[in-house]
Amino acid sequence: MERLCLDCGTLVKGRTDKKFCNDSCRNNYNNHLKIKDDLVLKRINSILKKNRNILMQLNPSGKAKVTRKELIAAGFNFDYHTYSYTAQNGNVYIFC
């Protein structure tokens, strides 16, 4: 069975578990995988930072309550937050 390099597609010689033809291809392949992960994390961190800034703007003391309507108007993204707490009375508190 012929084994092809995962990066460049050339024939791989040597050990049966070898996946790359050389270190350069191995590094290139793994760097491309890392870039994809970094872009996702960068996007998520950007959204979290924006949410945190919105909360700080609407609630500078950190102790007041902000309504959902105010958060929506400011552009808060409810899909991304670091913690949420549901009180016994049913109120939901979101933290960034």
Contact 39, 58 (CB under 8 A): no
Return the structure tokens found at 42: 């960068």
pLDDT score for 59: 86
Q: How far apart are CA 25 and CA 20, in angstroms?
A: 6
pLDDT score for 4: 94
Averaged pLDDT in 10-residue chunks for the chain of 96 residues: 91 92 95 86 93 90 83 92 88 78
pLDDT score for 75: 95
Question: Would the pTM of this model clear 0.75, i.e. be above it?
Answer: no
